[in-house]
Amino acid sequence: MKRIVALAGRPNTGKTTLFNALTGLRHRAANFAGCTVEKATGTMRASGGEVEVVDLPGTFSMVPQTEDEQVSFRFLSECAESSDDLLVLCVAEASNLDNDLVLPAGLKAAGYPVALAVNMIDEARLNGIKLDAAELSGRLGMPVALVSARTGEGVDRLDGLLTPPPLRADLSDALDFRRATKKRLHELQDEALEKARTAAAASVTWPHRSVLPVTARAIRIDRVLLHPVAGPVILTATMFAVFQALFVGAAPIMDLLSTMLGSFSDLLRARLPEGALASLICDGAIPGFSAVAVFVPQIAILFTMIGFLEQSGYLPRAGAMVDRALRPFGLDGRVFIPFLSGFACAIPGVMAARTIHSEKRRIVTILLTPLMTCSARIPVYTLLITAFVPETFRPLGLNGQGVVMAGMYVFGIVMALLLALAMKFTSLHELHPAPATVLPPYRIPSAREMSRYVWARCWHFLARAGQVIFILSLVLWALAAFPRDAAVMAPLEAELAAVRAASPADPALEKSVKGRIAAATIEGSVLGRAGRLIEPVFAPLGWDWRVSIASLSALAAREVFVGTLGTIYALGGESDASDGLVAALRAARNADGTLRYGLPTAVSLLIFFAIALQCMSTIVTVRRETGSWKIPALQFSFLFGLAYLLSFAGYRLALAFLV
């Protein structure tokens, strides 16, 4: 028999902060059965033994309306049915007790064992509010503790609430929310409202002011931050700072990590005997680890920024500002941060969708975020634009290559909005978006809480998505490395041995031979053969087998496209060989002497890479965030199909009008 403490309450009552304070870092994330709503569970040591703490999704009233609210009530009913020892610990905001007492009063009336943690007691003191915990406890008929989860004040007192054995009351009469009628729930809500009102009136002494000081301060700040002119300017500057932090702050750390791991790989390669083991370690395992590790700085920086904006109270206001503009597309302000993060990398963008409480809206956001132009697309776009958009192209006197690059960003946004519009006609459309949003008071984020928040997000990525990304990297390496055709490789290896033995040494020639070996390896590999096999599939898009192989290998990460093409064109396989690759692509000719690639192929590739979900790490992250393979499979196949169709159309139009 488990001992379960379920944390319940309205969003913004500090429920998650209290959860973190109770469980420390001993928590894990999963999904509630049958849906994508996340369940955070952790353990805490109480004097009665180990207790499992579950952070339930936010609940506004006794009448569940959204999927998240239904999940919370369903969980309580399932616990009541099991033999587990249950206590519902309701979390209420001390300065908003009129509202927040409704849930504990209602759950108590529904027959559940309830205790109450009145949180943010420090803020209530600042507001001049006085609370009589004993009176409140007597009125509600449940134990009450006054706490501040942020500062830790009173949290130790919760131990006394959670430990009296047994926690569990007789739950045989507890209301089964899964079967309760709306009428019964409304009755419960009305009873709870009345009970909450009288309990709050008897136990709370309000200051003799019309507006609480913390609220008055929030209104003063809002008059600046939500000002018709200053508001959008501040929002733009804030988002610019977030975006810059992601690129400028994360890029050096990512580069350093890549360089260190690359150097480590080179060091090992020099010491290990040439062969499959060296290749496995240096071309498979280390790049696989690198593919996971390089995302951590971005995730840490993004969630530091999001955590700061969320805890300071600015995030819901930023959402409110853009809400109106997104509503015609069936979206709202909550998608803003995930979309913005998606410009750096889809992975933190997908993870940022956790701030969205509604399940359907979260899925739509996760589906569309990868359409934002992430940094991994930049090397691909740069290569194709530099190679095939003529320098003489100067629309309105502007640099044409720059215009096309900017156009790719706009293209991604437009596609996301159009697909969002299309989703309004599917079951993913949220019929009843929240008609109002709580704007919490402005608060100074706590460093302790922020570090826990960021650590939890990074650990979540490393532990859950990282393992799969690493394994898939090894699989892709094996597909690109085997089988090795001895008949083809033997003369090349003999040539390499001869070059190495020659005196004086010729590093350029050695590099060239190594490049040819790499090209021969990939050509003969499963991936290479697959590329040839699927060539007819992609031929209508203007791709040959080389581009097909590069696109297949880009499943590991989009930028791998450049490196693979470099390998095929015997440039040594380095992604920084793009200058040589530009020339190689421009000069490449078919057997009949005609140019192998041109602007139409570039158009087709640009469209394909803008839309297709060519990123294994994102696919794995989506799977982890949604709790099943269904959503990523749907997302991959739909975006692939759409990318194929539009690339085909783009190729044909370019052939007709641009050649």
Partner 1 sequence: MTLEALPFDVPVKVLGYAALSVFDKDRLSGLGLRPGVSVVKILKTPLQDPVECLVGSQLLAIEARLLPHIRVEAL
> Rounded to the nearest whole angstrom, what is the least distance from the CB of residue 219 to partner 1 in the complex?
6
61 versus 601: smaller Cβ distance to partner 1:
61
> Rounded to the nearest whole angstrom, what is the least distance from the CB of residue 185 to partner 1 in the complex?
10
Contact region for partner 1 (CB under 8 A) — 243-251, 315-323, 527-535, 626-634?
315-323
225 versus 456: smaller Cβ distance to partner 1:
225
**Nearest alpha-carbon partner for 439 in 239, 237, 197, 225:** 225
158 versus 322: smaller Cβ distance to partner 1:
322
Q: How many chain residues are in contact with partner 1, going by CB under 8 A?
A: 41
Q: Are 22 and 44 in contact (CB under 8 A)?
A: yes
Facing residues of 145 across strands? 117
Residue from 16, 20, 36, 61 touching partner 1 (CB under 8 A): that is 61
Residue from 25, 219, 463, 653 touching partner 1 (CB under 8 A): that is 219
Residue from 222, 493, 495, 544 touching partner 1 (CB under 8 A): that is 222
287 versus 316: smaller Cβ distance to partner 1:
316
**Nearest alpha-carbon partner for 21 in 365, 346, 452, 416:** 452
Q: Are 342 and 369 in contact (CB under 8 A)?
A: yes
Question: Which element (helix H / strand E) includes 146?
Answer: strand 144-146
Residue from 83, 172, 181, 210 touching partner 1 (CB under 8 A): that is 210
In whole angstroms, how large is the CA radius of gyration of the chain? Answer: 29
> Is residue 63 close enough to count as binding partner 1 by CB under 8 A?
yes
CB atoms closer than 10 angstroms to residue 196: 23
Contact region for partner 1 (CB under 8 A) — 208-216, 360-368, 628-636, 642-650?
208-216
Q: Are 41 and 55 in contact (CB under 8 A)?
A: yes
> Rounded to the nearest whole angstrom, what is the least distance from the CB of residue 189 to partner 1 in the complex?
8
Contact region for partner 1 (CB under 8 A) — 228-236, 563-571, 589-597, 604-612?
228-236
> Rounded to the nearest whole angstrom, what is the least distance from the CB of residue 210 to partner 1 in the complex?
7
CA 61 to chain CA centroid, Å, is 29
> Is residue 211 close enough to count as binding partner 1 by CB under 8 A?
yes
Residue from 41, 163, 215, 382 touching partner 1 (CB under 8 A): that is 215
Residue from 434, 450, 526, 649 touching partner 1 (CB under 8 A): that is 434
CA 374 to chain CA centroid, Å, is 13
**Nearest alpha-carbon partner for 3 in 112, 81, 77, 85:** 85
> Is residue 171 close enough to count as binding partner 1 by CB under 8 A?
no
Contact region for partner 1 (CB under 8 A) — 83-91, 319-327, 599-607, 651-659?
319-327
Amino acid identity at 424: K
d(CA 503, CA 513): 16
> Is residue 507 close enough to count as binding partner 1 by CB under 8 A?
no
- 441-470 footprint of partner 1 as x/- string (CB under 8 A): x-----------------------------
Sign for the pseudo-dihedral over CA of 333, 337, 343, 348: negative
Phi/psi-derived region of residue 572, left when phi > 0, alpha when psi is between -120 and 50, beta in every other case = left
- 113-142 footprint of partner 1 as x/- string (CB under 8 A): ------------------------------
Main-chain phi, psi angles of 229, to 5 degrees: -100, -50
Q: Are 211 and 127 in contact (CB under 8 A)?
A: no
d(CA 65, CA 69): 6
Facing residues of 115 across strands? 89
> Rounded to the nearest whole angstrom, what is the least distance from the CB of residue 610 to partner 1 in the complex?
28
Contact region for partner 1 (CB under 8 A) — 216-224, 363-371, 471-479, 544-552?
216-224
Residue from 231, 284, 379, 542 touching partner 1 (CB under 8 A): that is 231
Residue from 57, 154, 316, 600 touching partner 1 (CB under 8 A): that is 316
Torsion of CA 637, 640, 642, 645, to 10 degrees: -130
d(CA 349, CA 618): 10
d(CA 383, CA 387): 6
> Rounded to the nearest whole angstrom, what is the least distance from the CB of residue 208 to partner 1 in the complex?
14
Residue from 227, 500, 589, 630 touching partner 1 (CB under 8 A): that is 227
Give the residue ranges of DSSP H helices in 141-244: 158-162, 182-203, 213-225, 230-244
> Is residue 410 close enough to count as binding partner 1 by CB under 8 A?
no
- 176-205 footprint of partner 1 as x/- string (CB under 8 A): -------------x---x------------
Question: Which element (helix H / strand E) includes 39?
Answer: strand 38-46
CB atoms closer than 10 angstroms to residue 288: 21
> Rounded to the nearest whole angstrom, what is the least distance from the CB of residue 193 to partner 1 in the complex?
7
Question: Which element (helix H / strand E) includes 88?
Answer: strand 85-93
- 21-60 footprint of partner 1 as x/- string (CB under 8 A): ---------------------------------------x
> Is residue 320 close enough to count as binding partner 1 by CB under 8 A?
yes
Q: Are 423 and 330 in contact (CB under 8 A)?
A: yes
> How far from each other are the two terminal CA atoms of the chain, in whole angstroms?
73
d(CA 383, CA 611): 17
106 versus 412: smaller Cβ distance to partner 1:
106
CB atoms closer than 10 angstroms to residue 139: 20
> Is residue 72 close enough to count as binding partner 1 by CB under 8 A?
no
> Rounded to the nearest whole angstrom, what is the least distance from the CB of residue 314 to partner 1 in the complex?
13
What residue ranges bind partner 1 (CB under 8 A)?
60-61, 63, 65, 95-96, 98-99, 189, 193, 210-212, 215, 218-219, 222-223, 226-229, 231-232, 316-317, 320-325, 432, 434-441
